[in-house]
């Protein structure tokens, strides 16, 4: 019975997490871009997995109830995230429209080389300033995991961590396999266009959630 409960809790964490993260979102597009470029891919995968585990763990531990304690601070942070996403989206669209083909092909779609800190900090902002992340991890996955009994809560978190690791490793591998495709500047323009539109839409949604009246 114990083994069955462990397996059930692990599988619940794995399937729920995988169903939520397998989508074309800002974080996934960013990781895909870094994988195609071959820049700091392991660090990006590690960040995504660790952030998922920490946020889900906080939700399971009951931190979801504390998210509403500082609404003003949360609103300001959310607006800051919206501004960042807006700027990132505009840069991606500018790169799509204005960057010379030769420069795109030679630089792997990146107009300037970026260090580890710059890559991971950008990914951190994309992750943590997106309210949808908290809805998925802390609130939804956390509330499901909190209903598990005793140590099974953390078996559930391990299952979610396994799903997150599997997905982002697969995404990184797919990006490396697509490297030949992205030797063509047109492929980078398509990716930049998709990224730009995604970022602008997310910025609009994030700003709207921050500016919406309480209870509205």
pLDDT digits (tens, 9 = 90+) for 99-119: 666 555 544 545 445 688 988
Dihedral sign for Cα atoms in the order 27, 30, 32, 34: negative
Range ranked top by mean pLDDT from 7-11, 130-134, 187-191: 7-11
**Which of the two residues, 51 and 115, has the higher pLDDT score?**
51
The reported pTM is 0.70
Query: Among 165, 166, 160, 162, which residue's Cα sits nearest to residue 145?
Result: 160
Rounded CA gap, 195 and 181, in Å?
A: 17
């Amino acid at each position: 019975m114990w083994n069955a409960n462990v397996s059930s809790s692990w599988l619940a964490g794995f399937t729920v997490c995988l169903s939520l993260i397998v989508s074309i979102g800002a974080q996934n597009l960013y990781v895909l871009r870094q994988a195609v470029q071959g820049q700091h891919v392991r660090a990006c995968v590690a960040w995504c997995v660790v952030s998922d585990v920490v946020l889900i763990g906080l939700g399971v531990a009951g931190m979801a109830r504390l998210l509403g304690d500082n609404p003003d601070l949360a609103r300001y942070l959310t607006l800051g995230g919206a501004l960042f996403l807006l700027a990132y989206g505009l840069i991606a669209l500018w790169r799509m429209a204005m960057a010379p083909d030769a420069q795109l092909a030679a630089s792997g779609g990146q107009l300037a080389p970026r260090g580890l800190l710059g890559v991971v900090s950008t990914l951190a902002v994309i992750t943590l300033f997106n309210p949808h992340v908290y809805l998925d991890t802390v609130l939804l996955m956390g509330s499901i995991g909190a209903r598990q009994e005793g140590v099974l809560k953390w078996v559930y978190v391990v299952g979610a961590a396994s799903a997150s690791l599997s997905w982002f490793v697969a995404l990184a591998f797919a990006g490396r396999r697509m490297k030949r495709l992205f030797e063509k500047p047109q492929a980078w323009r398509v990716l930049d266009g998709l990224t730009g539109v995604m970022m602008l839409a997310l910025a609009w949604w994030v700003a709207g959630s921050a500016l919406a009246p309480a209870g509205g």
